Structure 1
C-alpha cells in the first residue's frame, strides 16, 4: 500500500510552477483544472516523492472532517454543546480526525478557503458536518457550492439543496403545549429567539394552542415574545409574559430559560409553583439546575451517529453523493420545572 509523505501545498505549488489555488483544486478535484496544470502537479508530486493518487476518493475512516458551528456570543449558551461532544468523541473513536470551526459572518470566505486548501498527507478536509444556523449556515452554502460533501444539522428548513438532518422544533413546541395543557395550564406563553426560525416556531405554537385549546389563538390568547440572545433578553421576555398573566412559559433557547429563571427570582416567584417552565431544545446540565428543567430534547446519540454514517457514505460516493433529508422528532423529558398551575 502506498503512503503519502507530509508535503505542504506551498511546496507542491512552487515545484509545479502553479498557484496554490490551482494546486489545491488539482488535489481536491482533478477535473476542475486544465490537463496542462494537472500534468504539472503530477510531475511535482513525483519530484517530491509523493506516491499514489492524492485525488482518489478519501476513505471516511481516515479522513479529516470539519465540525462547524456558529460562534456563540457573550451571554449566550450553546444549545448544541452536547451534540458536538458526542460527534467529536464518536469520530475520534472511528479514526476520523476532526477540525473544529466556529463560523463568523465576517470570516466566512477566509474559513472556506482554509478548509478547502489541502496538502498531501496533511489535514485535508474530506467533508463537513455543520451544526446550527447563522454564520455556520452561510459557510455551509459556500462549501456546498464548491463541491465539499457536507450535511447540516439544524432546526430550520431551507430549500438550498444541502443534505440535512432537520431537528423538528415545531413538533417539539406542539409536544410542550400538549403536556402543559394536560397539566391544566390555559395561559401559556412562548419565548423565542428573534432569528430565521422564529416565524415557523410562532406559527407552530399558535396552531398547537388553537388545536389543543379550541381557541382562535390570537396574539392576546397565545402570547409570544421574540427576544435577542443572552440571559438578559430572557429576563425581559419573562417579565413581559408574566405581565400577561401566563402560568407557564415555553422557552426555545437555553439563554431564554436561564433568563426566565432569573426573572422569576427577581419578582420573588418560584418555579414551578408560581410559573411552570418547559424548554424546547437542549439545556446543558438541565438535571442539576434548581429546579431541574423539564425539556423537549433530541436523542443526540442517534443524531450524531446518523450524521457520521451519512458523512461516510457521502465521501465514498463522490463526486455524486446521494441527497438526504431526515426529520428527527424530539422527546419529552420530565423533571421538576413544570407542574399543574397554582394560584398567584
Structure 2
C-alpha cells in the first residue's frame, strides 16, 4: 500500500504549537522563523523548515502563524495651526505595514471621538476585536484611546514623548536628552543667553527640568528662571510668535523650540522684529521638523531615527499579536541625534 502524502489543503489549519513541537523549538522561535527567518539561527531555521516538510505544509500555510491581517495606526488629530510631529513616522509605518502584506486602518483621534473609535476598533465585548493590534503615536486623545484598547487586552505599542505607568508597551522619545544635546551645541557655539519654548502639555515639566539641569551643568550657573528663561505656549504658530517675542525681550541670543509649530512662530516673530535668523537669533528645534532642510534658513534640529523606530514598533507589535501569552512588555527610550544645518551660529552683537 502506497504511503499517503498529505496535501497543503489537509494541513491548512496546522497550529504554531504543532510546528514548534515537530521542530523541537519554542513557539516564539517557530513564529520568528516563519515571519523573519533572518532573525533566528541557521540551525533553528533548518529545524522549522524540516518540520514543515514533515507536516506537508508550506511556510505560508500556517493560519495561526500568519501576520495579523489588520493593524490600527493611531495618532491624535492635529488642531488648526499645529504641525504634526509624528507625520514622518506615520508615513514610514504605513509603508512598512503594507509592504509586509498587512492591512492598516488609519485612525485620527479627536477628544470627543475616543469612545466611538474604541467601539469601532474593538467590536462587541463578547467577540474578537476588529483589529488584531495597534501602534499608537502621541498622547492626548490618542493616549485615551490606547487605554480603552488596553482594557480589552488588544496587543499594542505606544510611541510618545512621556512615560506613564499604564502597563502598555511603549517607545519613549527622550526629549530631555535632545534638549541637553541642543544646549551643549549652542553653548559650544558661544551662546550664554539661551531660552526654551515648550508646549504646555504633560511633558512640559520634564522638558523644563531637563533644560535647566543642562544649563546648570554646562554653564556652571544656578539656572534660575532669569538665567534659563522658559516660555510655555498653548501651541500653534501664533503661540510660537508670542513665545519668541517674550524670549527676545529677555535678550536671548538663541532659542530651543520643542515643537515644529513653535519654530515656525519663532521665525515669524524674528521677521516681524526685523531680526535675521541666524545672525541675530539662533534657532534649534527638538523633534521632527517637516522640510527643515528647505526652510530659509535650513533649520538645525535634534531629531529621531524614524526608520529605526518604525522597524522596532512594528516588529514588537507583530510578536505580541503572534504570541500574546509569551509577549514581554517593553519600555525603552530613544535618544535623538543632532542634525546641523544653518539656523544656529555663534552669537552676534545686536
Q: Which of the five TM-score ranges fits, normalised by the shorter chain?
A: 0.7 to 0.9
CA distance in 2, matches of 1:165, 1:185: 32
1:70 aligns with 2:82: no
The CA distance in 2 between the partners of 1:109 and 1:236, in whole Å, is: 35
**SS of residue matched to 1:157:** coil
Q: Is the 8 A contact 2:68 2:133 kept in 1?
A: no
Normalised by the length of structure 1, the TM-score is 0.81
Tell me, yes or no, if structure 1 residue 244 matches structure 2 residue 250: yes
Name the SS for the 2:301 alignment partner: strand
What CA distance in whole angstroms lies between the structure 2 residues aligned with 1:339 and 1:59? 54
With over 3 angstroms needed to count, the CA separation of the structure-2 counterparts of 1:58 and 1:204, relative to structure 1, is farther
Structure 2 partner of 1:232: 238
- Cα pair 2:12 2:63 within 8 Å, conserved: no
Work out whether 1:192 is the aligned partner of 2:198. Answer: yes
Aligned residue number for residue 270 of structure 1? 276
In structure 2, C-alpha distance between the alignment counterparts of 1:113 and 1:301, rounded to whole Å: 31
Distance 1:116 1:134 in 2: 20
- Tell me the distance in 2 between the aligned counterparts of 1:204 and 1:305: 28
CA shift at 1:88, angstroms?
A: 0.3
1:37-62 CA-to-partner distances (Å, cap 9, x unmatched) read xxxxxxxxxxxxxxxxxxx9865634
State whether structure 2 residue 206 is matched by structure 1 residue 211: no
Q: Is 1:256 aligned to 2:277, yes or no?
A: no
The answer to whether structure 1 residue 286 and structure 2 residue 292 are counterparts is yes
After TM superposition, what 4+ stretches of structure 1 lie above 2 angstroms from structure 2? 1-4, 56-62
Aligned to 2:316: 310
Contact 1:60 1:96 in 2 (8 A): no
Give the secondary structure class of the aligned counterpart of 2:176: helix
Aligned-pair distance for 1:161? Answer: 1.2
How has the CA–CA distance of structure 1 residues 256 and 57 changed in structure 2, closer, same or farther, with 3 Å as cutoff?
farther
Question: Paired residue for 1:81?
Answer: 87
Alignment-derived partner of residue 334 in structure 1:
340
Separation (CA, whole Å) in 1 of partners of 2:129 and 2:168: 24
**Alignment partner for residue 106 of structure 1, among 106, 109, 112?**
112
Q: Corresponding residue for 2:134?
A: 128
Contact 1:130 1:140 (8 Å CA) reproduced:
yes
- Whole-angstrom CA distance in 2 between matches of 1:116 and 1:334: 44
TM-score of the aligned structures, taking structure 2 as reference length = 0.80
Deviation at residue 272 of structure 1 after TM alignment: 0.2
Residues in 2 aligned to 1:268 and 1:3: alpha-carbon distance in whole angstroms: 71
Contact 1:129 1:307 in 2 (8 A): yes
Work out whether residues 64 and 123 of structure 1, in 8 Å CA contact, stay in contact via their aligned partners in 2: no
**Contact 1:189–1:246 (Cα < 8 Å) also in 2:** yes
Residues 68, 132 of structure 2: 8 Å contact kept: no
Written as runs of structure 1 = structure 2, the 5 A alignment for 1:98-177 is 98-117=104-123, 124-177=130-183
CA distance in structure 1 between the partners assigned to 2:66 and 2:346 by the alignment: 50
CA RMSD of aligned residues (A): 1.9
Distance 1:58 1:66 in 2: 20
Whether 1:95 aligns to 2:98 is no
Aligned pairs, number: 290
Give structure 2 stretches of 5+ with no counterpart.
Answer: 1-8, 14-61
Secondary structure at the residue paired with 1:129?
Answer: strand
Taking a change above 3 Å as real, the CA distance of residues 58 and 230 of structure 1, as seen in their structure-2 partners, is: farther
**How much has 1:317 moved relative to structure 2?**
1.3
Q: Secondary structure at the match of 2:132?
A: strand
